[in-house]
Chains A and B, each alone.
Chain A
Amino acid sequence: MSAYDLTETVLFFAVLLAFTKPFGAFMARVYQGERTILSPLIAPCETLVYRLCGVDRNEEMEWKRYAGAMLLFNGVLFAGLFAMLMLQHLLPLNPQKMPPFPWPLALNTAISFVTNTNWQAYAGEQAASYFTQMAGITVHNFVSTATGMAVVVALIRGFARRTTSALGNFWVDLTRGILHILLPLSLVAAIVLVSQGVIQNVAPYRSVPLVQATDNVQEVTIPMGPVASQEAIKELGTNGGGFFNANSAHPYENPTPLSNFVEILLILLIPAGLTHTFGLLVGNPRQGWGILAAMLVLLILSFGILQWAESDGNPLVAGLGVQGANLEGKEVRFGLAGSSLFTVATTGTSCGAVNTMHDSLTPLGGMVPLMLLLSGEVVFGGVGSGLYTMLAFVVIAVFVAGLMIGRTPEYLGKKIEVREMWLSIVTILTAGVVVLIGSGVALLVPSAVASMANPGAHGLSEVLYAFASTANNNGSAFAGLNANTLFYNLLLAVAMLLGRYVPAVAILALAGSLAEKKYVPPSLGTLPTDKAPFVVWLVLVILIVGALTFFPALAMGPIVEQLIMIR
C-alpha cells in the first residue's frame, strides 16, 4: 500500500472515531427525549407532527404493539411507493416522460426501498422521474432508516429497563430519528456534496454536441436531477440506491476524492455512533466500545485483504503487457484506497452504494464484500439493523462462552435463557438460510442461470452475491447479472422481505423478553463483556458462523476462480 493510501486510510478512521463519541451521545439524548442543541428549532415541528398525526408521545408500547406498528407503517410505505412507480407517468416533475414501471419491477423496487435494501433492477437515469426520485425514493431512504434505528433503540431499552413490558413508542422513535438526526445531517451533507460538483436541479436532460463527433454519434444527452439531496441520505441511511445506474461511481454522484471521503464517512457515521449510544443507554460506555472494537477489527481486516488483492492487479491482464492495479470497474480520481474503503464500508454496512464495480474485482477481492454480506452485515452494519444483529451475535457469544466455562450466561445483568437464544439464532440464521436456498433454487432454473453475465465460477459468484445482498438488505450487486426478470424480481423480493422483517420482529420479541427480566448484579462468575478477550471471542464467533454456513458455496465461486486466475 502506498504512503498516500495509508495516510488517507488512517485519516479516515481518525475522523470517523472523532465523530463517534459526540454523535453517539447526541443520538442518546434524542432517543431519551432530552434537549439537544437543535431542540429550539426542531421541538416545535416535532410537537406539530404528533398533533397532526394523532400520536400520544407519552404512550408506551409493549413489544407486540411496537412490532405491529412497525409492520403496519412499512405496509403503508410499500403501498405508497408501489402506487407511485406504477403511476409515474401521471405524476408531475417528469420532464423526460418516463413511463410507469412494469409491475414485477415496481413490486421488487418498492419492497427493495421499504426494506432499506435498495437493490435496483432498473437504471435510474432511464426509468425514474424526478418526482419518483424525490417524493418516492428519497422519502423511503429516510423512513426505512428511521425504522431500523427505532428497532435497535427498542432493543437497547430491553437491555436497559427492568421488569417492565414498555419498550417506548414506535411513532415517537421514528419521528425523532428523522427530525433530529437524519434531516439536519442530510441537509448539511447535501450542500457539501454540491460544493464538490454533485448536481441538484429539476432541469430537463441537457443535449450537448461531442467535441469529436463520430459517424454515428454527434451529440449526447447528459442527465440532470435532484441528486445531492438523495445522495446524502442514501449514504447516511446506509440505503445505497443510486440516482444513476453507476451509483456512487457516477461523477455526478461522487465527483471528487473529497466527496468520496465524505460519502464513506456518512455511511459509517450512524452505525459507529450507535455503538456509543448503546453504551450510554445501558449505563456502561465500555460495552459500546467493545462492540465498536469488534466491528473495527473486522472492517480493517477486510480493507487490508481487498486493498492487497486489487493492488496486485490481474495477472492475466498483466500478461498482455499492462502495468498497474486492477482498474477495471474503478474510477481514476478515487485512487485504490478510496475505492477499497468505499467497498468495505458499503458492504460491511447494509448500504450497497458502490463506487467500484464489484463484479470486476479480483476473485479474492470480490470475496471480501461477499463475505461481509454473508457475515450478516454486522461490520458496523445497516443503520440500526447492524447493531441489533451484532447484539444477537453477542448474546450467542455470551451463551457459548458460558457453556464452555460452566456458568449461567448473562449479559448486562440479564440472564440469557432458551427464549433469548432462540430469537438470537433466528435473527442470525434467517439471512443465511434464504441465501443458500435461494441461490440453490436459482441454479436449478435454466432462465435464472442464463442471466449470468460471466461464465463459470464467476457466474456462481454473481448469483450468490445477489441473494447475499438482498437477504441482508444491502443492495449492491455483482451487476453483470441480469436481475430484471420475473424470476429474480419476485424471488429476490421475497429474500428482501424475509431478510428484513423476520430478524426485526425477532429482535423486538427479544427486547420484550429482556425488558421483563430482573436485573442480576454482576458477580465474580460473570463473564466481563467489555474487555479485550470477549471482543476477540466475539470476532471469532462471527467468523466461525459465517465460515461454517458459507464455505462450500464460497469454495465453488471465488476460491475456484482465484485458482484459475493464478494458474
Chain B
Amino acid sequence: MNDIRPAILLFVAFTILCGGIYPSLVTGIAQTVFPHQANGSPLADRSGRVVGSALIGQPFTDPKYFWPRPSATAEFGYNPLASGGSNLGPTNPDLLRQVGERVKNLRAAGLAGPVPADLVLASASGLDPHITPAAARLQTARVATARGVGEDVVAKLVADHTEDRQFGILGEPRVNVLALNLALDKLTP
C-alpha cells in the first residue's frame, strides 16, 4: 500500500491549489477588472442608495410600477435567500389554480386579450429580473394612468430599458423590471 502517501498528499496539494490559489486568483482578477459585476451588479435609486441588483428581481404590486413575473420562492416572492422555482408539474391542480388567480388579478387591473405566459408562470430562479417586451407593453397604460403622465413617456422609458438579444442572436429581448421602475421613480417620484 505504498499508494497511501500520494493519495493523502495529492488531496492536500489539490485542496491548496484548486480550493485556495485558484479561487483567490479569480477573485483578485475579478475585483480588479470587473469590480461592479464581481460584487453583484448593484443598482442605486435617485438618492444614490443601493436598493438592489440589476440581476435580482424584486416584487412589485403597486399599479404605478411595472409588475414582474410571479415568483415561487419560500416565505415571500423574490426572496433572494431562497432561490428556486415552483417545481409544479404541468398537470398539477395547484399550478392551474395559481395561474387562474393570476389571470384574474391581471384582468381586474384592466388587461384584456391573451395573457403573455411570462406574467403568470413562475420563473426557474424565482428571482428573474426580466419580463418580455410584450408583457411590459400591456402594462404601460396602467402605469401611465397611475402616475398621471402620458403613455408615450412611459412607452419611451420601456423602449429605453428593453435589451435586445445579445449580439442580435442569443437569448430573448427583455425588459429589466427593477431598473425600469427605478427610472420611473426618477422621472415622477
Interface residues of A (CB under 8 A from B): 4, 7-8, 11, 49, 52-55, 65, 68-69, 72-73, 75-77, 80, 123, 125-126, 134-136, 138-139, 141-143, 171, 174-175, 178, 183, 186-187, 190-191, 194-203, 205-206, 208-212, 214, 216-217, 220-224, 226, 228-230, 232-233, 244-246, 249-252, 255-258, 260-261, 313-314, 316-317, 320-335, 338, 354-357, 359-363, 366, 453-458, 461, 478-480, 561, 564-565
Instruction: Tell whether, in the assembled complex, residue A480 and residue B30 are in contact, meaning their CB atoms are under 8 Å apart.
Output: no
- How far is A135 from B22 in the complex, measured between Cα atoms in Å? 10
> Is the CB of B188 closer than 8 A to any CB of chain A?
no
Q: List 18 A-B contacts (CB under 8 A).
A: A65-B3, A73-B7, A136-B19, A143-B11, A143-B18, A196-B37, A199-B38, A208-B50, A211-B178, A212-B181, A220-B81, A255-B41, A321-B114, A328-B122, A338-B170, A357-B124, A360-B85, A360-B87
Instruction: Tell whether, in the assembled complex, residue A212 and residue B58 are in contact, meaning their CB atoms are under 8 Å apart.
Output: yes
Which residue from chain A places its CB closest to the CB of B100 in the assembled complex? A320
- How far is A214 from B77 in the complex, measured between Cα atoms in Å? 11
- How far is A125 from B79 in the complex, measured between Cα atoms in Å? 12
- How far is A316 from B178 in the complex, measured between Cα atoms in Å? 31
Chain B residues contacting A206 (CB-CB under 8 Å) are 40, 42, 50
Instruction: Tell whether, in the assembled complex, residue B3 and residue A199 are in contact, meaning their CB atoms are under 8 Å apart.
Output: no
Those of B98-137 within 8 Å (CB) of chain A:
99-100, 103, 114-118, 120-132
The count of A-to-B residue pairs whose CB atoms sit within 8 angstroms is 376
How many Å from the CB of A507 to the closest CB on chain B?
19
Interface residues on B, range: 35 or more
Interface string of B68-95 (1 = CB under 8 A from A): 0100000010111111111111111101
Interface of chain B: mostly helix, strand, loop or mixed? mixed
Contacting residue for B19 out of A55, A134, A317, CB 8 A: A134
Instruction: Tell whether, in the assembled complex, residue B83 and residue A246 are in contact, meaning their CB atoms are under 8 Å apart.
Output: yes
On whether A126 and B82 interact (CB within 8 A), knowing A194-B34, A332-B118, A334-B172, the answer reads yes
Instruction: Tell whether, in the assembled complex, residue A226 and residue B23 are in contact, meaning their CB atoms are under 8 Å apart.
Output: yes
- How far is A515 from B182 in the complex, measured between Cα atoms in Å? 67
- How far is A456 from B92 in the complex, measured between Cα atoms in Å? 9
Chain B residues contacting A329 (CB-CB under 8 Å) are 85-87, 121-124
Instruction: Tell whether, in the assembled complex, residue A458 and residue B89 are in contact, meaning their CB atoms are under 8 Å apart.
Output: yes
By Cβ-Cβ distance, the 4 closest A-B pairs, closest first, are A257-B171, A324-B117, A480-B87, A249-B124
Instruction: Tell whether, in the assembled complex, residue A326 and residue B117 are in contact, meaning their CB atoms are under 8 Å apart.
Output: yes
Chain B residues contacting A171 (CB-CB under 8 Å) are 3, 6, 10
Instruction: Tell whether, in the assembled complex, residue B83 and residue A226 are in contact, meaning their CB atoms are under 8 Å apart.
Output: no
- How far is A455 from B66 in the complex, measured between Cα atoms in Å? 34
On whether A197 and B95 interact (CB within 8 A), knowing A8-B169, A123-B84, the answer reads no
Add 8 more A-B contacts to A246-B124, A251-B56 (CB < 8 A): A123-B83, A125-B82, A139-B14, A226-B23, A322-B115, A332-B69, A360-B90, A455-B92
Chain A residues contacting B121 (CB-CB under 8 Å) are 317, 322, 326-330
How many Å from the CB of B9 to the closest CB on chain A?
4
On whether A245 and B166 interact (CB within 8 A), knowing A54-B6, A320-B103, the answer reads no
- How far is A457 from B91 in the complex, measured between Cα atoms in Å? 9
Instruction: Tell whether, in the assembled complex, residue B20 and residue A134 are in contact, meaning their CB atoms are under 8 Å apart.
Output: yes
On whether A76 and B52 interact (CB within 8 A), knowing A211-B181, A456-B91, A478-B87, the answer reads no
Instruction: Tell whether, in the assembled complex, residue A208 and residue B51 are in contact, meaning their CB atoms are under 8 Å apart.
Output: yes
Chain B residues contacting A362 (CB-CB under 8 Å) are 90
Instruction: Tell whether, in the assembled complex, residue B118 and residue A73 are in contact, meaning their CB atoms are under 8 Å apart.
Output: no
Those of B34-74 within 8 Å (CB) of chain A:
34, 37-42, 45, 49-56, 58-62, 65, 69
> Is the CB of B152 closer than 8 A to any CB of chain A?
no
Chain B residues contacting A257 (CB-CB under 8 Å) are 165-166, 170-172
Q: Chain A CB within 10 Å — which of B15, B59, B76 has the most?
A: B15
Instruction: Tell whether, in the assembled complex, residue B14 and residue A178 are in contact, meaning their CB atoms are under 8 Å apart.
Output: yes
Instruction: Tell whether, in the assembled complex, residue A183 and residue B90 are in contact, meaning their CB atoms are under 8 Å apart.
Output: no
Chain B residues contacting A332 (CB-CB under 8 Å) are 69, 118, 123, 128, 130-132, 172, 174
